[in-house]
Chain A
Amino acid sequence: MNQPRRLAAGAAHQFGGIAIDRSKPLQFRIDGRRVAGFAGDTVLSALLAAGIDGYGTFGSAVLGLGERFAPLVQVRGGQALPMDRLLAADGMDLQTIGARRLFHQGRTLGHRIAGIAAPPWTQQGVETTLAVDVLVVGGGVAGLAAADAAACAWHSVVLAERRTWLGGDARYFGPVGDEASPESVSADLIARVHGHGAITVMTAAEVFALHGTTAHLHRIVDGAGHVVAVSAKRVVLATGSRQRLPLFGGNRLPGVTSAIAAYHMAKRHGVMPGRKTVVATQSNYGYRLAMRLHDAGVAVPRVVDTRINPQSRFVDFAKASGLHLAGGVQPLSAAAGRSGLTLQFANSGTATRTIEIEADALVVSGPFYPDLSLWMLAGGWTQWRDGGLRARGTLEHIVLAGAAVGYRSLAACVASGPAALAQAFGTRADSIEDFELGAPYETPEAPTPIAPPTGTEPAFYDWGTSLISRPDPQWKPPLTPHAQAPTLGDVAASVDLGLTAAADAGAVAEERGAPGADIVASVWNAPASAPQPQSARWLSQRFGDATEELHLVVDGKRRFMRGALVYANDRRGDPTAAIGVIIREGEPAGGVALISSVALRKADRFVVEALDGPSPARIKRD
Chain B
Amino acid sequence: MAEHDFAIVGTDLLAGLLAGVLARDHGKKVMRIGRRRSPQRLWRSLPVALPLATRPASWKMVRESERETRALLGSMGIPDACGEVEAALVADRDESRAALDHLVHVAAGFGHQVRHVEGGWVLRRVAMLDRERLEQRMSEWLRAAGVTMADEGPADAAVTVLADDAAILDGLDEARRPALLIPQAMTTTQIVCPRPLPAGVLRFVDRGVTLVARPGSTVLAFAAGEADVEARLGASLPGPFPMKRLATTRYRSIATSDGAPMFGRPKGTKVFIAAGMGDCAPFFAPALGRLLAGVTDGEEKAWFAAHDASRPRERVADFAAVEGAA
Question: Residues of A at under 8 Å CB distance from B?
Answer: 118, 123, 479-480, 482-485, 491, 494, 499-501, 503-504, 507-508, 510-512, 514-526, 530-532, 534-535, 537-542, 561-565, 573-576, 578, 581, 583, 609-611
Contacts and interface: CB of A to CB of B under 8 A. Distances in A.
Interface residues of B, number: 73
Given A500-B38, A503-B35, A581 B102 contact: yes
Contacts of A610: 105
Interface in B266-293: none
B95 A534 contact: yes
B233 interface: yes
Contacts of A491: 40
B304 interface: no
A419 B38 CA distance: 37
Interface in B91-146: 92-93, 95-96, 98-99, 101-106, 108-110, 114, 116
B208 to A, nearest CB: 10
A538 B60 contact: no
Contact of B234 (A480, A516, A520): A520
20 contacts: A480-B218, A485-B247, A499-B38, A516-B245, A518-B244, A520-B243, A521-B234, A522-B232, A531-B322, A531-B323, A534-B319, A535-B95, A537-B258, A537-B320, A538-B318, A575-B56, A575-B59, A575-B60, A576-B299, A578-B109
Interface stretch (B68-76, B78-86, B186-194): B186-194
A532 B320 contact: yes
Contacts of B98: 535, 562-563, 583
Contact of B246 (A483, A530, A609): A483
A581 to B, nearest CB: 6
Contact of A480 (B60, B102, B216, B299): B216
A532 B180 CA distance: 13
B104 A526 contact: no
A609 B109 CA distance: 8
Contacts of A531: 322-323, 325
B317 interface: yes
A565 B320 contact: no
Given A523-B235, A526-B207, A562-B98, A540 B322 contact: no
Nearest to B245: A515
B154 interface: no
A563 B207 contact: no
A483 B38 contact: no
Contact of A519 (B36, B38, B233): B233
B249 interface: yes
A519 B248 CA distance: 12
Given A483-B192, A534-B320, A575-B109, A540 B315 contact: yes
A525 B233 CA distance: 12
B109 to A, nearest CB: 4
Contacts of A520: 230, 234, 241-243
B190 A524 contact: no
Contact of B218 (A483, A501, A514, A530): A483
Interface in B298-326: 299, 314-315, 317-320, 322-323, 325
